């Protein structure tokens, strides 16, 4: 988005890149920028419910420090002074961290997650903590203990999940950048249904230290933004080896910023790039995929061809088993991770009357502290791990996971990146699927394989569906530690779609003007 499309008085409409440039040039201060976002949050958040906590004092204190440092000629990181929102799954010292659950409603961590430390080191004002499905279990942010977040495009619809608070905050200009987490698509699917950009880095490329665990072998932190370059800048801030995380990759971070900037330049050329359309998740002939989503997907393929890419069909035969495997592995790991909430060490504690036993206190606390979806997955995971069933369920699911990883390896021997629609539909209405867990789970049908294999994925806007005028997304997948390919292809496609569609990006979302 260029400056001439942005009202001069509304700095919240700038991209993060433009904000950084203006801050560096001295034509905008971080205090002005941060206050503008805080004012917008105050006006719109009561309706959107994107933020669970707003740290105005902390954000403005950081902004003042950045402005003072810049005035004294100090060399600052590129995003210094640009505000950011953090999904409420990352620990923030001195700020409540709930993971969207009553179980942690009053939990104030004594330390920062590594990603939060890196945001602070980058001198980025943290606006607050964003809403999410409880312990990141969900695809709609309706399972938050603190009420659903609403989609800025249509307030009666969901903003995706589990990170709907982050996606809605970015889409509604409450924040230029946000942090999300992705266990089975929780960055990419919200990006698709809100018309934003969301990336899941290679597993282990971003530290999970201090991030409240759901499924440890699947969880990954990543950036949410309005443009591919903005996402790349945030990715570069949070990525890198962390000795505090045993799964952290000790390798150089791919230069995602250079890849995005080069590809978004005028005349970007993808000649020689081989793009694989995954038969099993392309939606072709599948009734579950909305026609408007498929139409935008086909148009995106046409744009990639126009940029010089070769489009080929690729089969990943075991992707059809990904959802079944995922919904055994995730609940099993969640059952283990959430066992720590026993009312004895931390978290909610409910004490029944008449001298209850420790077991009764634990049962009462978990009953009051966990929501229905969390209980459902804990029960499923505990069953899958129980004696006599481990090999039949969890063990078999892990074997399928290996086959899916091999499918990816075989596919990437033929192509450079894989593509599919990010989500099978546009945003559905709040309440439509809360009584049908399987229908809710199907929203992640295209995104789950990447988490099972640990490969990076990204969702970029592909346009608006004809049926409802709501955003659809294109998913890009690349080999492990080749995240820069996502940013190169995503930025090139983004630039072409803007050119072809008269500048289509999120600024064309209907303006929300409500009173608090």
Torsion from C-alpha of 462, 467, 470, 475, nearest 10 degrees: -30
Torsion from C-alpha of 63, 64, 67, 71, nearest 10 degrees: -170
- Which one from 186, 335, 420, 459 is the annotated catalytic residue? 186
Q: Tell me whether residue 167 is one of the annotated catalytic residues.
A: no
Tell which residue, 247, 264, 150, has the closest CA to residue 197: 264
Q: And the tokens for 306?
A: 């126009």
Rounded distance between C-alpha atoms, residue 439 and residue 457, angstroms? 23
Tell which residue, 125, 84, 114, 89, has the closest CA to residue 224: 84
DSSP states along 237-302: HHBS--TT-TT---SPPP-HHHHHHHHHSTT---TT-EEEEEGGGS-TT-TTS-HHHHHHHHHHHH
Rounded distance between C-alpha atoms, residue 241 and residue 251, angstroms? 7
Rounded distance between C-alpha atoms, residue 201 and residue 313, angstroms? 24
Backbone phi and psi for residue 408, each to the nearest 5 degrees, phi listed first: -60, -45
- Which one from 140, 162, 248, 332 is the annotated catalytic residue? 162
Rounded distance between C-alpha atoms, residue 81 and residue 362, angstroms? 44
Cis peptide bond prior to 162, omega within 30° of 0: yes
Query: Which residues is 457 bridged to in the sheet?
Result: 200, 477
Q: Which helix (H) or strand (E) holds 396?
A: helix 396-412
Q: Tell me whether residue 266 is one of the annotated catalytic residues.
A: no
Say which residues have a Cβ less than 8 Å from residue 436's Cβ, sequence separation at least 6: none
Ramachandran class of 42: left when φ > 0, alpha when ψ lies in -120 to 50, beta otherwise? alpha
- Which one from 87, 129, 200, 433 is the annotated catalytic residue? 87
| Three-class DSSP category at 450 | helix
Q: How far is Cα of residue 131 from the mean position of the Cα atoms in its chain?
A: 12
Rounded distance between C-alpha atoms, residue 5 and residue 316, angstroms? 42
Mutual orientation of helices 483-500 and 256-264 as an angle, nearest 10°? 20
Q: Which helix (H) or strand (E) holds 143?
A: none
Ramachandran class of 267: left when φ > 0, alpha when ψ lies in -120 to 50, beta otherwise? left
Q: And the tokens for 167?
A: 């996606």
Q: Tell me whether residue 186 is one of the annotated catalytic residues.
A: yes
Ramachandran class of 502: left when φ > 0, alpha when ψ lies in -120 to 50, beta otherwise? left
Mutual orientation of helices 228-238 and 114-121 as an angle, nearest 10°? 110
Backbone phi and psi for residue 128, each to the nearest 5 degrees, phi listed first: 160, -165
Say which residues have a Cβ less than 8 Å from residue 168's Cβ, sequence separation at least 6: 48, 50, 130, 131, 141, 149, 150, 151, 152, 159, 174, 190, 194
Query: What residues are labeled active site?
Result: 87, 162, 186
């Amino acid at each position: 988005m260029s400056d001439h499309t942005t009202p001069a008085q509304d700095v919240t409409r700038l991209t993060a890149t433009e904000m950084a440039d203006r801050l560096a040039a001295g034509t905008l201060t971080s205090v002005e920028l941060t206050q503008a976002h805080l004012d917008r949050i105050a006006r719109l958040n009561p309706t959107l419910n994107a933020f669970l906590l707003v740290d105005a004092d902390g954000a403005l204190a950081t902004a003042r420090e950045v402005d003072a440092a810049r005035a004294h000629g100090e060399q600052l990181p590129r995003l210094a002074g640009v505000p950011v929102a953090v999904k409420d799954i990352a620990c923030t010292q001195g700020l409540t961290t709930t993971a969207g659950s009553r179980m942690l409603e009053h939990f104030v961590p004594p330390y920062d997650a590594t990603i939060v430390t890196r945001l602070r080191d980058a001198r980025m004002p943290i606006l607050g903590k964003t809403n999410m499905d409880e312990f990141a279990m969900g695809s709609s942010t309706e399972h938050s203990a603190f009420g659903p977040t609403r989609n800025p495009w249509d307030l009666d619809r969901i903003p995706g999940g589990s990170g709907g608070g982050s996606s809605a905050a970015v889409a509604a200009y409450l924040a230029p950048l946000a942090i999300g987490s992705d266990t089975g698509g929780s960055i990419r699917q919200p990006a698709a249904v809100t018309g934003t950009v969301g990336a899941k880095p290679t597993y282990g490329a971003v530290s999970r230290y201090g991030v409240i665990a759901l499924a440890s072998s699947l969880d990954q932190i990543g950036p949410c933004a309005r443009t591919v370059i903005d996402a790349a800048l945030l990715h570069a801030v949070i990525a890198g080896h962390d000795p505090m995380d045993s799964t952290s990759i000790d390798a150089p971070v791919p230069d995602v910023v250079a890849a995005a900037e080069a590809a978004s330049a005028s005349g970007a050329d993808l000649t020689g790039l081989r793009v694989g359309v995954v038969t099993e998740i392309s939606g072709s002939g599948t009734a579950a995929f909305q026609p408007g989503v498929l139409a935008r997907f086909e148009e995106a393929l046409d744009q990639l061809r126009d940029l010089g890419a070769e489009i080929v069909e690729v089969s990943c035969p075991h992707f059809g088993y990904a959802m079944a495997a995922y919904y055994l592995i995730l609940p099993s790991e969640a059952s283990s991770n959430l066992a720590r909430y026993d009312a004895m060490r931390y978290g909610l504690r409910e004490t029944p009357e008449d001298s209850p036993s420790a077991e009764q206190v634990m049962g009462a606390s978990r009953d009051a502290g966990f929501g229905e979806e969390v209980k459902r997955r804990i029960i499923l995971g505990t069953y899958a791990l129980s004696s006599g069933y481990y090999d039949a369920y969890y063990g078999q699911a892990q074997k399928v996971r290996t086959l899916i990883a091999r499918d990816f390896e075989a596919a990437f021997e033929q192509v450079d990146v894989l593509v599919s629609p990010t989500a099978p539909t546009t945003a559905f209405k709040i309440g439509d699927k809360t009584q049908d867990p399987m229908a809710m789970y199907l929203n992640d049908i295209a995104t789950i394989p990447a988490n099972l294999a640990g490969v990076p994925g990204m969702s970029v806007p592909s346009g608006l569906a004809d049926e409802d005028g709501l955003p659809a997304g294109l998913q890009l997948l690349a080999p492990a530690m080749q995240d820069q390919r996502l940013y190169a292809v995503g930025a090139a496609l983004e630039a072409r779609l803007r050119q072809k569609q008269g500048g289509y990006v999120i600024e064309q979302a209907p303006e929300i003007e409500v009173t608090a």
